[in-house]
Amino acid sequence: MDTLQDGFDPREFAGSAQRAVAACAALDVSARAARLAEDGLLGVIADEAVGGLGLDPRFAVPVLQAAGAGDLGFPLLETMLLARHLAIVAPDAAAEIIAGQARATIAWSGAARPDMTGTVGRAPMARNADWILVRLADGAALLPGHAVAVSDAPGLDETLPEQRVALSGMEPATRLDAACWAALAEDALLLRAALILGAAETCLGLAVEHVTNRRQFGKPLVANQAMRHLLARQKLSLEGMRGCIARASAAPANRLAREAAFLAAATHGPLILEACIQVHGGMGFTWDVPLHRHLRRIRAVEAQGGAVMLRDGLAAALIDAN
């Protein structure tokens, strides 16, 4: 599908994504999958042959922004990636995922041994997942959820908990070669950046609203110049993240641009959230104010993407190049 010829605009997906995410707040996980599928969001970047829209990953950016903004308790990033990259090797599974009939996730940490044994981790909502993708030395393997042992793992994000997955030598339903896994991981960089942007944008809006309405010593907090400067710096960081994502979203795909977008989001996103919490004072750490829940999500996404190792590798490559 030629998205430019067809005249689609990624921003057209923002409104429906925001409404769907808001509606999911009152639903259980299975109902969330059904609602997101009903709105056509799970297959935005999947091939038309399996029920998707056949659009490129930049059309998933506003969807993931909405998920980040709404603190969606559903592995939407993993679901959209699997719907896209399983379309050729496992079309039936991809179609079930897009229709909301099967839940899927990805274990981002660790790799299975050649005999399909070992333990992998950082699999969001792996418990009761119908399909779990695990990393191999030469690609990835798709495993049925009932064939593995899932256990809880310590983590920051209580809304979207991560689990460990223990493998016992089962035969995979299908395998992804190294090139397919690399393409999936590259798409994940852009979508993670979008999710972090959505969370940071929402929290900065909450901070601005707080300092505008909160009064101390007869004046609103925003009357304090230091407060205005603090929020202005966070706004600059936010727009820098948005610019990186816009460049990384431009066709054709560019891995370096996507790495830069993810690293910009993983670097500035937590700083923005921490500043927003500071602006709220002690109440910023309470469960009634959602700021720390967004910070937990950002930190989890940062770890899933291996931001520290990616940053070190990129720095070493730039040093060698110069």
Evaluated on CA atoms 265, 266, 271, 273, the torsion sign reads positive
pLDDT tens, per residue, the chain with 322 residues? 444 435 678 888 899 999 999 999 999 988 999 999 999 999 999 999 999 999 999 999 999 999 999 999 999 999 999 999 999 999 999 999 999 999 999 999 999 999 999 999 999 999 989 999 999 999 999 999 999 999 998 888 888 999 999 999 999 999 999 999 999 999 999 999 999 999 999 999 999 999 898 877 778 887 788 889 999 999 999 999 999 999 999 867 788 899 999 999 999 999 999 999 999 988 888 888 899 999 999 999 999 999 988 888 877 877 877 7
Question: Does 184 share its domain with 289?
Answer: yes
Question: Does 21 share its domain with 79?
Answer: yes
Question: Does 4 share its domain with 78?
Answer: yes
The DSSP element (H or E) to which 302 belongs, if any, is helix 291-304
Question: Does 168 share its domain with 184?
Answer: no
Token reading at 276? 């927003």
pTM of the entire predicted model: 0.93
What local confidence, expressed as pLDDT, does residue 4 receive?
42
Closest CA to 298 of 241, 240, 235: 241
Three-class SS of residue 132? strand
Final residue of a domain: which of 50, 74, 101? Answer: 101
d(CA 223, CA 220): 6
Question: Does 184 share its domain with 241?
Answer: yes
Asked if residue 129 lies in contact with residue 102, where contact means CB atoms within 8 angstroms, the answer is no
Question: Does 90 share its domain with 129?
Answer: no
d(CA 254, CA 249): 9
What local confidence, expressed as pLDDT, does residue 2 receive?
43
Token reading at 125? 């909502």
Domain of residue 301, residue span: 180-321
Tokens 């992804």 sit on residue: 176
Question: Does 57 share its domain with 116?
Answer: no
d(CA 299, CA 292): 10
Question: Does 190 share its domain with 315?
Answer: yes
Question: Does 70 share its domain with 146?
Answer: no
Final residue of a domain: which of 145, 172, 199? Answer: 172
Q: Tell me, what CATH number does 79's domain have?
A: 1.10.540.10
Question: Does 187 share its domain with 110?
Answer: no
Structural domain count, the chain: 3
d(CA 280, CA 20): 29
Final residue of a domain: which of 119, 153, 172? Answer: 172
Strand order in the sheet with 162-168: 117-124, 162-168, 149-152
Question: Does 93 share its domain with 222?
Answer: no
Question: What one-character-per-residue DSSP string does 9-69 give?
Answer: -GGGGHHHHHHHHHHHTTS-HHHHHHHHHHTT-TTTTS-GGGT-----GGGGHHHHHHHHH
Question: Does 144 share its domain with 248?
Answer: no
The DSSP element (H or E) to which 149 belongs, if any, is strand 149-152
Q: Tell me, what CATH number does 147's domain have?
A: 2.40.110.10
